[in-house]
A and B are shown apart, each in its own frame.
Chain A
Amino acid sequence: MNELVFFINNVIVAGSVTGSIYAIGAIGVTLVFSIMRFAHFAHADMMTFGAFMVLLLTLAFPGVGSVVGLPTPVVMLPLAIVLTSLLAVGIDKAFYKPLRAHGVKPIVMVIGSLGVTLMLQGLIRLFAGTSAQNLYLGGERKEIYRLELPFELATRPVIVTEPQVILFVLTIACVVGLHLFLSRTRLGKAMRAMSDNPDLARASGINTNHIVAVTWVIAGGLAATAGTLLSLDVTFKPDLSFFLLLPIFAAAIVGGVGHPYGAIAGGFVVGFAETLAVFNWSVLLRPIAHHFPEWLELPRNLAFVGTEYKIVVPFFILVAILVWRPTGIFKGKVI
């Protein structure tokens, strides 16, 4: 039974954590793509920026969290969301809008966003330094929940940490909120309309500049949420989210780029694929090892790929799914 607990801890919990982060990140990437039709590479660094804002706010107001019974960084998250949204709108005004006004090709926007990525990363490094920093400051501790399984043989608990629980709750909230927004509100429908046919949207009286701004606000907010929750789960580093950029894009494409529900599905597919690929299967096989023929010796580590090659997994999944369904799991292009 302990082997099963090991599996739950290392695959179910870890996969859900990675999947949630990828999903929230991929929703932002996919929304920006569906409205502005370019791959926004600076999204990962907007995530880092959000986490950095939380770090600064937590340093400025330590101990606020104890008043409401949540970790201070989580209490600071709404403010960081607002700041990151403002940053996203500001970046658009300063860099992307002039490019759009010139009617440049999407590839120029993509290269522009790479520039923004490097700039943001540099700025964060300048102020935060390059070392890892814990978001739990001033004596606050990461709560760890140990859930004992009601089986006699399971002596080890399932372990979930407080930031992971918050991550799951916020992921569900983001997904439900986004669904209601896109399907119920006029603004959400206007976004769908613009992603479908921008010319017609304008001719139908939809202010497309307004929609672009709203898209950046949502993308910025989601980025701040994902970045903060990731930093809470591990630690804050200036290049933390940059390394998530590729899996997040893989998730967005796997799900069908431009499709938010696809991004969610893609996020979890990639997240679980990663954890399953690096999982040591020999742990699960060990209890039944005595049934194996003698010549078959169970190796100590039986994973599909070593942890250091984890980054190839999203791309393997990406290629495999695109061969099977060239437009992604959900047919992408339009929200």
Chain B
Amino acid sequence: MAAIIDVRHVHKAFGGLKVINDCSIQVEQGSITGLIGPNGAGKSTLFNIIAGALPLDSGQVLLDGEDITNRPANELFHKGLLRTFQIAHEFSQMTALENLMMVPPAQDGENLFSAWLKPGLVRQRETKVRQRALEVIEFIGLHHVRNELAGNLSGGQKKLLELGRTMMTDARVVLLDEIAAGVNRTLLGDLVSNIERLNREMGYTFLVIEHDMEMIGRLCDPVIVLAQGSVMVEGTIDEIRNNPEVIEAYFGSNVA
């Protein structure tokens, strides 16, 4: 299988603090790859670099062979690279449904020309987008709050909305940043099966940051362990669980 995301020798420092240190990872096409590591390992920074939210100091990021180093997030979106945020982001002054409707694949109406001169066409697409948004909101179980302002939703509901956003368009790779945090157990089961379904049926590739080892174990293969800004080890969840180095990094040397 080919690597759809290829991170090559990336370095990133904040002031004197080297957060990412010669880090190279590959995410295989069609996989659900887990990214774990102790706090401060640089997981979120690496995510932000891949997603175009942070400029890197040196190195290269490739998406399906194409150099996307330091490209802005909106460009990556149109190339099919989507992300969710660790702290759920939402358009607080729009309803849940409008939030989803902000993300159709092609931002057609953003062209002033078509907005004024082809209102029929725009309306037709708007209807299609609304239809899709209604399906998605049903799917993520937020149908009953679809007309609430997104700012008033609970933390867990905002997380679901984040996942819903990635389902509005035909993504190739989705970066999920702690999507399970703050979501209750029953919803979590739905979330996991939704992710698996998107992976199987729609061919989405996922890169997942997660602290919940149970969820990682259920979803991810392979799993990459990040420590001190570079890859410590990579393998299946069982290999990771039994790796003495990983145990040391997580629990300290005296446990192992």
Give Cα A190 to B82, complex, Å.
18
- Say yes or no: is B92 at the interface (Cβ < 8 Å to chain A): yes
Interface size class of B (residues with CB under 8 A): 20 to 34
Q: Does B107 contact A (CB under 8 A)?
A: yes
Residues of chain A lying within 8 A (CB to CB) of residue B112: 185, 187, 214
Q: Could you tell me if B110 and A200 are in contact, using CB atoms closer than 8 angstroms?
A: no
Contacting pair A187 B94 (CB below 8 A): no
Number of A-B contacts (CB under 8 A): 87
A interface residue count range (under 10 / 10 to 19 / 20 to 34 / 35 or more): 20 to 34
Residues of B contacting A186 with CB < 8 Å?
107-110, 115, 122
Contact of A206 with B by CB under 8 A: yes
Beta-carbon contact of A207 and B74 below 8 Å: yes
Q: Which residues of B contact A193 (CB under 8 A)?
A: 91, 94, 102
**Interface residue B51 (Cβ < 8 Å from any Cβ of A):** yes
In B72-119, the 8 Å CB interface with A consists of 72-75, 77-78, 82-83, 85, 89-94, 98, 102-103, 107-112, 115
Please provide the chain A residues from 79 to 120 with a CB less than 8 Å away from any CB of chain B in the complex. none
Chain A, 198-237, CB within 8 A of any chain B CB: 199-208, 210, 214
Structural contact, B93 and A205, CB atoms closer than 8 A: no
Enumerate chain B residues within 8 angstroms of A192, measured Cβ to Cβ.
91, 93-94
Task: For the complex formed, measure the closest distance between the CB of B92 and the CB atoms of chain A, giving whole angstroms.
Answer: 6
Residue on B nearest A186 in the bound complex, by CB: B109
Is A196 on the interface with B (CB-CB < 8 A)? yes
Closest residue of chain B to A190 (Cβ to Cβ) is: B110
Contacts of A334 in B (CB 8 A): 92-93
- Once the chains are docked, how many angstroms separate the CA of A186 from the CA of B107? 8
Interface centre among A189, A190, A205 (most CB of B within 10 A): A205
The answer on a CB contact under 8 Å between B90 and A204 is no
Q: B108 → chain A, closest Cβ, in Å?
A: 7
Q: Tell whether B165 is near chain A: CB-to-CB under 8 Å.
A: yes
CB nearest neighbor in A for B79 = A205
Some 30 contacts from A to B, beta carbons below 8 A apart, are: A185-B109, A185-B115, A186-B109, A189-B94, A190-B110, A192-B94, A193-B102, A196-B92, A196-B94, A197-B90, A197-B91, A199-B53, A199-B73, A199-B85, A199-B89, A200-B91, A202-B74, A202-B77, A203-B74, A203-B77, A204-B165, A205-B107, A206-B74, A206-B102, A206-B110, A207-B72, A207-B110, A208-B74, A210-B110, A335-B93
